[in-house]
Structure 1
Amino acid sequence: MSGDPTTYGVRVWGVSKRVWPSGTTYRVRWLVGRKEWHDSFPTRAMADSFRSDLVSATRRGEPFSVATGRPMTWDRPAETPVSWYDHACAYVDMKWPHAAGKSRQGIADSLATVTPALLSSVKSRPGAEALRAALYGWSFNARRRASGPPDEVHRRAERWVAANTRPVRDLADPGVLRPALDALALRMDGKPAAASTVARKRAIFYNAVEYAVELGHLSGNPVASIKWRAPKVTEAVNPRVVINHGQARALLDAVRAQEPVGPRLVAFFGVMYYAALRPGEAVDLRKDALALPSKGWGELYLSTSAPSAGRSWSESGTRREPRQLKHRGMEEVRVVPSPPELTALLHQHLDDHGTAPDGRLFRGVRGGPLSESLYGRRWAVARAAALSAEEAASPLARRPYDLRHAAVSTWLNGGVPAPQVGAWAGHSVDVLLRVYAKCISGQDATVRRRVEDALRQGSS
C-alpha cells in the first residue's frame, strides 16, 4: 500500500534446491531491511525468473515495501485498460470544440459504424437500430452527452455497449482490427457503402486510433500497417451533371415563376451558377460582401459559410452556424468575380427583397436562415419545368450544388488559367484538375490537330 514504510536496503541470494519426500522445490531468499523473506517454486525456471525480477527491481532503484517484502510497484493494482467506447467518447470531446457541425456529424457517424464491430460480447446485445441510435444520437454527440442521460431505451443500450467494448489495446491484433475496417465499408443494410463514404470513415477511424497512440493506449497506429484495401474513390465530377448556359437560364426562369417564394431564390441559385459559391456560402452571403457597380463586372468578398448540419451538432442549437470558409483560416477572404449577369441579378434582388436585419441576402419564409428543404423543393420543381423529361430523369443539375460544378467547368472551358479558377472556387490546383478533369471539353480537336501536324512533319 502507498502508506507502507519502504527501504532500498535489499539483498537477493541465489536459488537453493530443496528435496522433500513429496518432491523437489526451489527457494528464493532475499533480505528487505532487517527481515528475511523467501518463496518456493516447483521448477528452477520459475524460481530463476522470480529472482531475476527482484534483482531487476533493485537495479532500477525501486523501493521495497518493508511490510510485504516486494517492490512497491508490485503492490500497485493493475491499471484497468481503457475501453474503445470510453476512448471514442474522449476523442469526440477532444474534436468537438474546433469542428464544424458537418464534421461533428461525420465523426459520430463513423464511430457509430465501427463501434459495433469492436464488441467483446454479443450476449443480450441491443438491436442494431437501438445501438446506433444510442451511439450516434447521444454517446458521440458531446453536447447531448454533457446535458444528461438519454431516455431509458437509449440509456440501456448505452450502458450495455459501455460494458461490452474491447480495450483499445486489442486493436493491435489484426484479427480485431480487420473486422472493424470491414464494417466501415458497409451500410446499415449490409450493402457496400459508397467509396467516398468508406474513405471518409476510415480517415476518421485512423485519426481516432492515432489519438489513442498520443494518449499512450497503443505504441503505434495499427491501421497504418494492416493490409486492407478500401474501395477506390472517384473524385471526378460526372460531366453529365453539368448544365450549359441556356439550361441555366431556363432553370433560373423556372425558379422565378414559383410565386411567392421563387423570386427570392433566383439570385441565391445565381451566385452558385455564376460565382461557384457553395450552398453554405450562398446562405450566409451578406450585403457588405458585395462590391457591385451599377452594371458590369463586380466582386464578391467571401469570408464566412453556414453549412447545414442540424441543431444537434451546433454549439448554438441552430441548424446553421456561421464559421470560416472551407479549408481557410478565420477571417481569410476569398474574392470571386461577379459577371454582368450576376451583378444584375443581385441588384434586382436587393431592390425587390432587401436583406435580413443582419445583412443576409437570402432568408427563409419567417426571416431565419434559408433551409435546404425550402430551396431543395423549389429546385426540384424548376428542373421538372425547365428540362425535358429525358433530362429531368438524368443526373443533370440534380442538386443545387451542381450549379457550382457548372460554374467551375465554364471557367475552365473558357480558358481561365487553373490557378485563377482554383483561387475563385476555393480549391488547390491539384484538387481542381483532379475533380474537374472530365468536365474540360473542346480541347480534343485541338490536340488531335497538333498530333497530325507532328506526324506530317515527321514524314516530310
Structure 2
Amino acid sequence: MAEPSGLTKSETITDLNGAVRVWKQWLTSEKRASAHTLTAYERDLEQFLEFMQDHLGTIPGFADLAALKPADFRAYLARRAAKGYAKTSTGRALSVIRGFFRFLERRGVLSNAAIFSIRGPRIPASVPKALTVAEAAETLDAIGDLASEPWIAARDIALVSLLYGAGLRIGEALALNRDALPVGETLSITGKGNKQRIVPVLPAVRAAIDDYIAQCPYRGGPEDPLFRGARGKRLQAGIAQRTMRLARGWLDLPETATPHALRHSFATHLLAGGGDLRAIQELLGHASLSTTQRYTSVDAERLMDVHSRAHPRDR
C-alpha cells in the first residue's frame, strides 16, 4: 500500500498516540493545515476517541478501531446529537474521523470499511447573506464615524474598502504586512492552504489605504503589520467584527452584516453586474466553482442566463 506523500518508512507507528502524532505532522507538512484547522481536527478526533473509550469500556487500540461496526459509529453520532452539536459541526467531525482512518489505512496500520459506509447528518444548503449595494455604500460612508480617533477611522475605512472592493477574507486582509506598500493595481494574497492569488485593487481602495497609512502613528519595517490596533500590534479580527456590530446598530443593518458579508457582497455584486463566474472564483480563491455559486447566491435562473449567453450553440 502506497505511503502518503511526505512520510517515510522510518516513521513507524507503534501505538495510537504515535499515530495521532504522525497524523498531525502530516496535516501540517503535507496538507498545510492552519493552526486553527489543526486545533479543530485534533479536538474532533480526541472527542471521538474519548467516546469510544466510554463506549467500549477500554482505551481503544488499533485492533479495537479496526473492529468497530456501523452501529458503533452511529452511537457516536447519536451522542453528539443528544448533546446538541450542530449538524455542520458533526459533519466536519465525521469527515475528520474518516480522514484519520484513511490515513491509518494508507500507512498499513489498520483497515475499517464501516466508517466509510456511515452517512453524516443531512445539512441544508445555506446561502450566505450579502448586503445590498445601498447597504454596502452606507457602511463605507459611515464606518469611519464610529472610531474614537481620526487614524482609527481611516484604518476602518481602508479595511472595509479592501474587504468589499477586493473580496478578501478578514484573515487575509489582517495578515497583510507593510511590504504590500505601496499598493499598486494588484495585491498578492495568501489564502487558505497558503495558496497565492492576485487580486485587482480599485483606485478608491488604494486611496483609502494611502490615507490610512498617512495618518497611522505607527511605522515599521516590511514584516510589520499593515493594519494595526490601537496599541500598534496587528489588528485582531474581533475588533473588526465589533466595529461591524456597531455599524449594524447605527445603520439598522441585518445581523448578517459581518466583515465576511462584505466578501459575499463583493462577489454577488460582481455577478449581478455581469461578471464571469470563473473569474469571480479566481478572485475569491475558491478551489471549487460550487463554493463560488453559494457565495454569490447563484440561482438556477441566473445560471441558465450565464449559460445561454456563453455557450457557442446558443449564440
Q: TM-score, normalised by structure 2?
A: 0.77
> Structure 2: how far apart are the matches of 1:326 and 1:346?
24
Q: Which residue of 2 aligns with 1:249?
A: 137
Q: Is the 8 A contact 2:280 2:292 kept in 1?
A: no
> Structure 2: how far apart are the matches of 1:236 and 1:351?
41
Q: Within 5 A, what are the aligned runs for 1:259-270?
A: 259-260=148-149, 261-270=152-161
Q: CA deviation at 1:242?
A: 0.7
Residue 57 of structure 2 corresponds to residue 168 of structure 1:
no
Residue 2 of structure 2 corresponds to residue 109 of structure 1:
no
> Structure 1: how far apart are the matches of 2:65 and 2:205?
54
CA deviation string 1:326-349 (max 9, x = no partner): 1455xx4x1111223322212221
Q: Is the 8 A contact 1:236 1:436 kept in 2?
A: no
Which amino acid is the alignment partner of residue 36 of structure 2?
K
Q: Is the 8 A contact 2:139 2:247 kept in 1?
A: yes
Which amino acid is the alignment partner of residue 88 of structure 1?
V
Residue 187 of structure 2 corresponds to residue 300 of structure 1:
yes
Q: Which residue of 2 aligns with 1:216?
A: 108
> Structure 2: how far apart are the matches of 1:400 and 1:437?
16
Which amino acid is the alignment partner of residue 295 of structure 2?
Y
> Structure 1: how far apart are the matches of 2:86 and 2:304?
38
CA deviation string 1:48-91 (max 9, x = no partner): xxxxxxxxxxxxxxxxxxxxxxxxxxxxxxxxx96655533443
Q: Which residue of 1 aligns with 2:4?
A: none
Residue 159 of structure 2 corresponds to residue 272 of structure 1:
no
Q: Tell me: CA distance 1:353–1:110, structure 2 relative to 1, closer, same or farther (3 Å).
A: same
SS in 2 for 1:438: coil
Q: Is the 8 A contact 2:155 2:209 kept in 1?
A: no
Which amino acid is the alignment partner of residue 280 of structure 2?
V
Which amino acid is the alignment partner of residue 91 of structure 1?
W
User: 256, 264, 269: which one pairs with 1:396?
Assistant: 256
> Structure 2: how far apart are the matches of 1:109 and 1:254?
40
Aligned residues: 289
Residue 16 of structure 2 corresponds to residue 95 of structure 1:
no
Residue 292 of structure 2 corresponds to residue 405 of structure 1:
no
Which amino acid is the alignment partner of residue 335 of structure 1?
I
> Structure 1: how far apart are the matches of 2:41 and 2:201?
36
Residue 72 of structure 2 corresponds to residue 207 of structure 1:
no
Residue 192 of structure 2 corresponds to residue 326 of structure 1:
yes
Q: Tell me: CA distance 1:367–1:404, structure 2 relative to 1, closer, same or farther (3 Å).
A: same
User: 249, 258, 280: which one pairs with 1:421?
Assistant: 280
Tell me: higher relative CO, structure 1 or 2? Use CA pairs within 8 A at least 6 residues apart.
2
Unpaired runs of 5+ residues, structure 1, are 1-80, 124-163, 305-324, 451-460
Q: CA deviation at 1:437?
A: 5.6
> Structure 2: how far apart are the matches of 1:366 and 1:400?
22
> Structure 1: how far apart are the matches of 2:23 and 2:168?
32
> Structure 1: how far apart are the matches of 2:292 and 2:22?
38
> Structure 2: how far apart are the matches of 1:219 and 1:446?
48
CA deviation string 1:385-412 (max 9, x = no partner): 012xxx44xx431x21111111111111
Unpaired runs of 5+ residues, structure 2, are 1-12, 310-315
User: 347, 367, 374: which one pairs with 2:210?
Assistant: 347
Q: CA deviation at 1:190?
A: 0.8
SS in 1 for 2:188: strand
Q: CA deviation at 1:120?
A: 6.1
SS in 1 for 2:198: strand
> Structure 1: how far apart are the matches of 2:72 and 2:86?
15
Q: CA deviation at 1:357?
A: 1.3
Question: Identity over aligned residues, as a percent?
Answer: 22
SS in 1 for 2:192: coil
> Structure 2: how far apart are the matches of 1:350 and 1:440?
41
Q: Is the 8 A contact 1:242 1:405 kept in 2?
A: yes
Which amino acid is the alignment partner of residue 363 of structure 1?
R
SS in 2 for 1:335: strand
Between structure 1 and structure 2, the one with the greater Rg is 1
> Structure 1: how far apart are the matches of 2:246 and 2:260?
16
SS in 2 for 1:203: helix
User: 237, 240, 248: which one pairs with 2:127?
Assistant: 237
Q: Tell me: CA distance 1:328–1:291, structure 2 relative to 1, closer, same or farther (3 Å).
A: same
